[in-house]
Amino acid sequence: MFYVDLAISGIVFGCMYALMAVGLTLVYGMLRILHIAHAAVFALGAYVTVLVANASGSILIGFIAALIATPLCGVAIYRLLYQPLLHYRPDVPMIASIGLLVLMQDGFRILFGEQGVTFLKNPLAIETVDIAGITLNLAQIAVLIVTIIIFLALHLFTTQTRIGVAWRATVSNPRIAASFGVDAIRVRYLNFAIGSALAGVAGGLIALLNNFVDPTIGYVVSYKALAIIVLGGLGSVRGTLIASLFLGVIESYGTIFIGSYLNRDAIAFLALILILMARPQGFTGARTA
């Protein structure tokens, strides 16, 4: 059962990566910007969830607060930082984005302390259930269920609603969508709002899972998410989902088998670099910019 446990824990991590990375891949698809500060939005989601949950006594209210704060933050980043830089080489907004990540992460450290914050009461991380001999805690189950619901909702939204279809069209080809009268600016706001909300939920879930949030939470996840969107074939939601789960599971097994040579984060990057070298256009090769 050990290997099954590893796979499950890998999938749970993979779900988190997916929620985090989808926003990133959508931004890249639409604007060709590597939105590294997305990880700061994710960290914001984690902090807000914990702090509001503690203040209100309800984890659910914590999540709702994160769902309000993170889209606002994401849209503000687009409007204030990226929009003036859209006409420059992609490295320019990317470096600005790294600057913002460093700024926000350090801001969280200063505001909320070196030690980070923990839930006062988090029954989900403690209580476990046995399903067919596999032990899962409630937080893990919550991650799996929330991820499935979100991706289903996303699928329905982008196939069944007018604005959703326009959004998808813009991500896959901004120019053609514009010529069909899609309002690019509105779609971009929507893009940042939804992508950021997903990152916020991911942040809340990881806080639930680890039962604490520390000031470095964003860093590693951000670069890992970059790795994922490259592997997933930039701009592709499905590719990102697959790459996320793949990376989660690889890391899980990797820490067991090559963990004495490389740490968990290095494994992800080794996979990334090898695949980039073999397939410069990414895993699925869906998009060649």
Contacting positions for another protein (CB under 8 A): 31-32, 34, 81, 84-96, 98-107, 109-110, 174, 219-220, 223, 226-227, 230, 259-270, 272-273, 276-277, 280, 289
DSSP-derived 3-state class of residue 158: helix
Question: Considering all CA atoms of the chain, what is the largest pairwise distance in Å, rounded to the nearest integer?
Answer: 56
Burial 160-172 (b: 16+ CB within 10 A, else e): eeeebebbbbbbe
State which residue, 24 or 245, has the beta carbon closest to another protein.
24
Please provide the size of the chain in residues: 289
State which residue, 10 or 174, has the beta carbon closest to another protein.
174
Shortest distance in whole angstroms from residue 226 CB to another protein = 5
State which residue, 145 or 185, has the beta carbon closest to another protein.
185
State which residue, 72 or 81, has the beta carbon closest to another protein.
81
Shortest distance in whole angstroms from residue 87 CB to another protein = 6
State which residue, 14 or 93, has the beta carbon closest to another protein.
93
Nearest CA-CA partner of 47 in 75, 68, 66, 73: 66
3-state helix/strand/coil string of 120-140: CCCHHHHCEEEECCEEEEHHH
Task: Judge whether 231 and 73 are in contact, CB under 8 Å.
Answer: no
Shortest distance in whole angstroms from residue 287 CB to another protein = 12
Shortest distance in whole angstroms from residue 144 CB to another protein = 27
